A = this chain, B = another copy of it.
Amino acid sequence: MKHYLSISDLGNLQSAAKEAISLKKDPYAFELLGKRKTICLLFFNNSLRTRLSTQKAAMNLGMEVMVMNFGNEGWQLEFQDGALMNEGKSEHIKEAAQVVSQFADIVAIRAFADLVDKEKDEAEIVLNGFKKYASIPVVNMESSVAHPLQALADAITLEENKIQERPKVVLSWAPHPKALPHAVANSFVKMMKLQDAEFVITHPKEYKLNPEITKDCKIVHDQEKALENANFVYVKNWSCYTDYGKVLSQDKNWMMTKEKLENARFMHCLPVRRNVVVEDAVLDSNQSLVIEQANNRTYSAQLVLKRILEKL
């Protein structure tokens, strides 16, 4: 694997999840693999899980880690080709990406969607800028439209917790006061398409996801119907895709409750707003898998870094 930009870069998902689970059992088995190798984690946005789990994964592999908050600590970047740079931006992505490549063996990048201009977000200018100009592998720590480290952690969690050969997994929209990106939902959908499972997406009619991503997925607008006999329920808010980046409704009836969940396991990528997205009773029950998902972020990142290191 050269870059890890999308869940599809993994090749066979099941074998990736299984390899990650074996890393979880013996996290230091490859601690010499990353010796004298450095990863640079570049954050254009805030992070808790991603920052700590990716750092931890790299350390488990014996790597050196350099963490940088690009916004506060570095220079404002220009991404436009041919730009006349006489305003606020003092460095072009062409130089920034090549320069970082001189000091690290892998670069990992977090750059969220702005949720203002759909075309611009979908162009993934930060991530693709690094991919285009960096001479080292690039790892996606959540970009405008994808969060493949989360999706792999979710696949690991499903693999560890499924009882049925072919579980029913539901992705349910939930209300939220702020406009949130589609990255987690997109990567979860893409990952589920690679799973042997019954997969259903449920959301209010006005909250459909990018139809190219949900193509061939079963979409049900009646949440109750969608949840019937579910084994896993993945809850996530996202803002409107068609009326891009808008919060059209915050219908409280879509909050996940213990009653709705029945016997299914509850999943969420975190951070989660309690009693808005999901009620306390769910998170505080042993039906919740959210902490296991967070824990699996380490082994998701470790699998990805291991595969990249092996090809360096």
Interface residues of A (CB under 8 A from B): 28, 36, 38, 40, 43, 46-49, 51-53, 55-56, 59, 64, 66, 68-69, 72-75, 78, 82-87, 89-92, 94-96, 98-100, 102-104, 177-178, 250, 270-276, 280, 283-284, 290-291, 294-295, 297-298
Contacts and interface: CB of A to CB of B under 8 A. Distances in A.
A271 B48 contact: no
Given A85-B273, A102-B295, A72 B74 contact: no
Nearest to A56: B103
Contact of A298 (B75, B100, B103, B283): B103
15 contacts: A38-B59, A43-B73, A47-B74, A48-B68, A48-B75, A55-B103, A69-B72, A83-B274, A86-B273, A92-B272, A92-B274, A94-B283, A95-B283, A95-B290, A99-B270
A99 to B, nearest CB: 5
Nearest to A298: B103
Question: Which residue, of A43, A55, A83, A276, has the highest number of chain B Cβ atoms within 10 A?
Answer: A55
B69 A47 contact: no
Given A90-B273, A290-B95, A73 B51 contact: yes
A52 B90 contact: no
Contacts of A272: 91-92, 95
A32 to B, nearest CB: 13
What DSSP secondary structure best describes chain A's contact surface? mixed
A64 B75 contact: no
A98 B278 CA distance: 18
A201 B231 CA distance: 64
Contacts of A83: 274-275
Contact of A36 (B28, B280, B290): B28
Given A75-B48, A82-B275, A85-B275, A294 B99 contact: yes
A116 to B, nearest CB: 20
A107 B20 CA distance: 25
Contact of A64 (B59, B90, B91): B59
The 6 closest A-B pairs by CB, nearest first: A91-B271, A85-B273, A102-B295, A52-B103, A84-B275, A48-B74
A25 to B, nearest CB: 15
A75 B271 contact: yes
A96 B59 contact: no
A281 B64 CA distance: 36
